Structure 1
């Protein structure tokens, strides 16, 4: 019989991770592990509860534990999607079920998910929000990385993005405002990003207040993050966004994420595969989507002072697919 165990783990962040909504010095993750001694297999998955979406560590752990009887009875990933709403708790269980299936069948997870074999990819590296001076210094230290993701915060963003460009003159830049821009500042911020050669802007306006994006010129592609969780929200993006950020903690697992990727491509949207700040276990399933993506942003382990072992192999900004000892 399959057994479910749930754990809460804490991993220190190297320094601090700061966005427009605040700063953190540790990543708190919840893991789900499914094991069956009869078949000699175990699988696991990791999620990062996010207060912005009404999630807490305790609530997500409890939501996962509530599925113990269903897991023991043989719950499938398709049935899981019907039982639980999209979000972090379902993500941990979906990924654990897929890993368990891969181990039990002796088949790689990418084959079970109907995907192509993952290959190494270039991930963005995130620069936290700070003063223009501190961000320029951080950019200078990261200037050898080919793709930087710059966290912005509203007032003063033109100076921040100009400073980052000075610090990293040759890197490709994407920016993430985390909903911090407003109608009265968006055009000036767009102009500053255009002058700095930014290639993509992520979630400039608050979710639910982004209709303006369909009424102004978008000289740089705009990517939805907080405004999109799963396929149910795709239609609302029409005319406002040019790309979407797929995060497994939003979609509620890889199963929905794959379907979302196909549906978004059919609508002509570019794709980013992104992450919360988690360990290699959270990045591993997302790596199966890298071949879909125009942008890969799976740098969570690079932001930690300590990753779990075994973890993913990073060579600079190149992230390698997971080995079965980790996941899949």
Structure 2
């Protein structure tokens, strides 16, 4: 007989310094942890609220506990996809159910999902938005890392990218406009970044205004982030973007993220796998989706002042695979 209990709570983790994008700065992140205890096995999942969807840690927690009866009665992952919409609450629960199945069966999640064994990943490291001189100094401090991701804001972006290139002349660069190029000439902005070796531009225009990219011939590939949450958004991305950024909190868990990755590849889109600010517990499931992605941006835990025990380690920009004591 199955005896399952659900626990869920909010945790607060300090950010190292501050994490700044065009929408503001954060000095701590609130994550929601869901936990299933079933016949001696424990499964955990972590999620970060998607603030630009109006989610908060409190609302995510409320959603999780409001479904306690069904979840404790043995609801499985497939039924979960029908019960909850995409978003952070479903992500925490979906990942906890994957972890529970792995712990209960003794079979790792990658094998349960029919994936190859995970390998270490080269991940981007984010340079927060700031004045060019500040971003140059931040880039210089991590100049030996292989891949840097710059947060941009529209006005003054060329100076920011030039400054980071001075600070880290050998690093590969990708940039995230965070919708700040709405109303700007995207092709011209991208052309101006060519001398600095930028290889990808994330979310140049506001989500929902992707038609502004119709006919835009960008010399640097464009990547949908806020414009692509799950498979329902793929059609509007095709022919406008060259790539999509998959995040488990947006997609609503590992189950949907894997399905989204498969359909995106079939549609000819390149893959980037990213994350919100999170501990290694939130990063571990995303690392499975990131196997084989062209760009990996899983530095959410690296930007925190501290991390969990059994954390995923990073050395010279290479992120280790998660151990089963952490997740999966």
Name the TM-score, length of structure 1 as normaliser: 0.98
Asked whether the equivalents of residues 19 and 27 of structure 2 are also in contact (C-alpha less than 8 Å), the reply is: yes
1:140 partner SS: helix
How many Å separate the matches in 2 of 1:32 and 1:92?
6
Show the 5 A alignment for 1:160-179. Answer: 160-179=160-179
Q: Residue 13 of structure 2 aligns with which residue? A: 11
Write the mapping of 1:9-158 to structure 2, written as runs, cut at 5 A: 9-36=11-38, 38=39, 40-158=40-158
Query: 1 CA distance for matches of 2:270 and 2:317?
Result: 21
Distance 2:26 2:290 in 1: 27
Q: Secondary structure at the match of 1:300?
A: coil
In structure 2, what is the Cα distance between the partners aligned to 1:167 and 1:103? 45
Provide the C-alpha distance between the structure 1 equivalents of 2:153 and 2:114, rounded to a whole number of angstroms: 39
Structure 1 residue ranges, 4+ long, deviating more than 6 angstroms after superposition: none
Preserved contact between residue 191 and residue 218 of structure 2 (Cα < 8 Å): no
63-72 vs 85-94, greater mean Cα deviation: 63-72
Contact 1:261 1:292 (8 Å CA) reproduced: no
Aligned equivalents of 1:315, 1:206: Cα separation in 2:
35
1:99-153 superposed Cα distances (whole Å, 9 cap, x missing partner):
0000000100111112111001100000000001100111111110000000001
In structure 2, distance between residues paired with 1:201 and 1:82: 33
Q: If the length of structure 2 is used for normalisation, what is the TM-score?
A: 0.98
Question: Bigger shift: 181-190 or 89-98?
Answer: 181-190
| Deviations, residues 224-257 of structure 1 (Å, cap 9, x unaligned) | 0000100011011121100000000000000000
CA distance in 2, matches of 1:238, 1:255: 22
Structure 2 SS opposite 1:75: coil
Q: For structure 1, which runs of at least 5 residues remain unmatched after alignment?
A: none
* Unmatched tracts of structure 2, length 5 or more: none
Is the contact made by 2:187 and 2:218 (CA closer than 8 Å) also made in structure 1? no
* Partner SS for 2:17: strand
Root mean square deviation of aligned Cα? 1.0
Query: Out of 2, 5, 26, which is 2:4 matched to?
Result: 2
